[in-house]
């Protein structure tokens, strides 16, 4: 990531002998997600990988190494005034390079997604939790999705709480930062 990049969100995970740092480049729209590997010995960054490259605006992200130790998953939410919102997961190797296309976990024209959390689950999977809400908070859910090593859901999502309340984001979606 260029040293002048400002970040709206970031996440880090230890992997192998180093680290992966995920960040959203918010210099100008679209706000792409990048993953940069850092060498654990020298603390030097290696070549950054662009994880998303669309006209959509990424708004939240999470990153986690899998328990196998050699893979990671990155999750991100995005918004688009004309196309709606979504949550995506992408599998990465230990150097941060994508190993597959992004998997769409959920998409909606009426719901927004925030507060993503991603943690290893079992030997080669992960658990993704996030808040989905409507602007009037008639929908305000905490959702959990079990994922395999490629980021694909292993079952239907669970709604952990259907009344998460209006404590979601502290901003108006997309243009009202």
The confidence band for 145, taking pLDDT boundaries of 50, 70 and 90, is very high
Run of H or E residues at 140: strand 140-147
Query: Averaged over 128-157, what is the pLDDT?
Result: 94
> What is the pTM for the complete model shown?
0.84
Lowest mean pLDDT among 22-31, 95-104, 133-142, 160-169: 160-169
Residues contacting 63, CB < 8 A, separation 6+: 11, 12, 13, 20, 21, 22, 35, 72, 73, 74, 75, 118
Residues contacting 15, CB < 8 A, separation 6+: 37, 65, 69, 70, 72, 94
pLDDT for position 10: 87
The confidence band for 134, taking pLDDT boundaries of 50, 70 and 90, is very high
């Amino acid at each position: 990531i260029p040293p002048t990049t400002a970040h709206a969100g970031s996440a880090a995970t230890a992997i192998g002998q180093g680290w992966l740092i995920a960040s959203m480049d918010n210099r100008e729209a679209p706000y792409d997600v990048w993953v940069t590997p850092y060498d654990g010995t020298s603390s030097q960054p290696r070549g950054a990988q662009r994880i998303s490259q669309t006209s959509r605006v990424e708004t939240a992200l999470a990153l986690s190494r899998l328990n196998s130790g050699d893979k990671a998953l990155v999750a991100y939410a995005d918004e688009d005034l004309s196309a709606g919102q979504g949550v995506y997961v992408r599998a990465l190797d230990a150097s941060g390079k994508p190993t597959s296309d992004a998997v769409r976990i959920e998409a909606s024209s009426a719901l927004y997604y925030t507060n993503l959390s991603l943690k290893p689950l079992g030997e080669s999977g992960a658990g993704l939790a996030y808040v989905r809400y409507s602007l009037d908070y008639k929908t305000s859910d905490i959702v959990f999705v079990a994922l395999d090593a490629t980021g694909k859901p292993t079952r239907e999502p669970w709604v952990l709480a259907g009344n998460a309340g209006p404590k979601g984001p502290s901003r108006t979606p997309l243009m009202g930062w």
